[in-house]
Amino acid sequence: MSDYDILIVGAGHAGAQAAIALRQNKYAGSIAIVGDEPEIPYERPPLSKDYLAGDKPFERILIRPAAFWTERDVALLTAKRVVSVDPQTHTVTTGDGATIGYSTLIWAAGGSPRSLVCSGHELAGVHAIRTRADVDRLTSELGATTRVVVIGGGYIGLEAAAVLTKLGKQVTVLEALDRVLARVAGEPLSRFYEAEHRAHGVDIRLGAMVDSIEEQDGRATGVRLADGETLPCEMVIVGIGIIPSVQPLLAAGAAGGNGVKVDAQCRTSLPDIFAIGDCALHANAFADGAEIRLESVQNANDMANAVAKTLTGTDTEYHAVPWFWSNQYDLRLQTIGLSIGHDATVTRGDPTARSFSVVYLKQGRVIALDCVNAVRDYVQGRGLVMEGKSPDPARLADTNVVLKEL
């Protein structure tokens, strides 16, 4: 049995940053990262953007080169999936039956793509975008693909639609709700992105319910909708969210459900076990203390940094204003804060000029901004969100007033 002072489960952004930050904070004990993919830690956001488009080779999306981990004495245990945790003996067991001991466990396992439940969901030609292998499989089939149906109008689905449209594919996006980005953004932003995608030739279908995936010889040939219409295609991409990878922790007795519950220092209810990143269910100050999971690089890195400081002697709470980004066509969306529970929006600038911001208010307070090709608003809006300012909506909407004046 191998044994480490700190064992990190998950080789994504959270797990990699935890190891990096531990060494930056002069941690001298043994560290290992165990990941279920064969690759060393790499960036996830480019998978649906630059990597899918072929604009960046895999080497350019590595979080750090291989030599970095060797030089800092971080063991990378690749292609291993942790299937159980024993908090009493401080050990984990991997799918191949190996046992690994730890003094402290940092769970950073992220999540797996949520699958369709209809018939045909396992056919060849049906893809998710979560790992390098997912995208490599998808791109290997693009040469024989003319028509693509994307199921899910969230960021992953829309980013993939933008890339595939630029690659000359006929793309249809199916969204079950009445607008795209409905779970993460207000209506002004949703309508803007619907119009942009349609202007680029994407067929956006709202309120679209999938009945089944049709097949021939084991491959997807079309998507049948609940109303009976069938959309012929050679490829289906499913982007309907993730399921947090926390079952081994829950089975070991950790509190949680939709993720594993953590306290302000990212500790789980199990001794000597922390959880960070996409799978960590935490009370977030920017959601009025509601328990949420945040699926973002920012959250992964900030939680990792907080845990590293706590483990090196400075008890540190996770408290960071959330931010996100999305690239679609020539549009760069930057989001600061959480728009959850907003009761009003102010549009700042002209969407037809393709540079504007949507400011989200709750009882008059600024709680978030979505900034499209509006970097200055994004940078200056951070202070409004962090300080919970309540500026005059008319001044908020006036682009002649810079946000830092408010």
> Using one digit for the tens of pLDDT, what is the confidence trace for 18-48?
999 999 999 999 999 999 999 999 999 999 9
For residue 323, the model assigns a pLDDT of 94
**Which one has a higher pLDDT value, 18 or 389?**
18
Q: pLDDT tens-digit profile of 58-77?
A: 999 999 999 999 999 999 99
Q: Answer whether 17's CB lies under 8 Å from 304's CB.
A: yes
Place of tokens 């449209």: 165
Residue 305 confidence (pLDDT) above 80: yes
Q: pLDDT tens-digit profile of 141-152?
A: 999 999 999 999
Of the chain, the end-to-end C-alpha distance in Å amounts to 59
Burial 23-41 (b: 16+ CB within 10 A, else e): beeebeebbbbbbbbebbb
Q: From CA 93, how far away is CA 77, in angstroms rounded?
A: 13
> Which one-letter amino acid corresponds to residue 232?
P
Q: From CA 334, how far away is CA 336, in angstroms rounded?
A: 7
At 8, which helix (H) or strand (E)? strand 2-9
Q: What is the mean pLDDT of residues 154-172?
A: 96
Q: What is the mean pLDDT of residues 7-17?
A: 98
Residue 249 confidence (pLDDT) above 90: yes
Name the average pLDDT for the chain: 96
Kindly report the backbone phi and psi dihedral angles of residue 275, in degrees, each rounded to the nearest multiple of 5, phi listed first.
-135, 140
Q: From CA 198, how far away is CA 320, in angstroms rounded?
A: 36
Q: Give bridge partners of residue 273 from the DSSP assignment.
A: 105
Q: Which of 124, 157, 164 is nearest to 142 (CA)?
A: 164
In the structure encoding, which two tokens stand for residue 6, read together?
């700190």
Q: Contacts by 358-366 with C-beta closer than 8 Å and gap 24+?
A: 358/185, 358/186, 358/188, 358/189, 359/384, 359/396, 360/186, 361/390, 361/393, 364/390, 365/389, 365/390, 366/337, 366/390, 366/391, 366/396
For residue 1, the model assigns a pLDDT of 72
DSSP 198: H
The length of the chain in residues reads: 406
For residue 360, the model assigns a pLDDT of 97
Residue 189 confidence (pLDDT) above 80: yes
Q: From CA 366, how far away is CA 372, in angstroms rounded?
A: 17
Q: From CA 396, how far away is CA 230, in angstroms rounded?
A: 46
Q: Specify whether the backbone of 334 is left (phi greater than 0), alpha (psi in -120 to 50) or beta.
A: beta
For residue 283, the model assigns a pLDDT of 96
Which pTM value belongs to this model?
A: 0.95
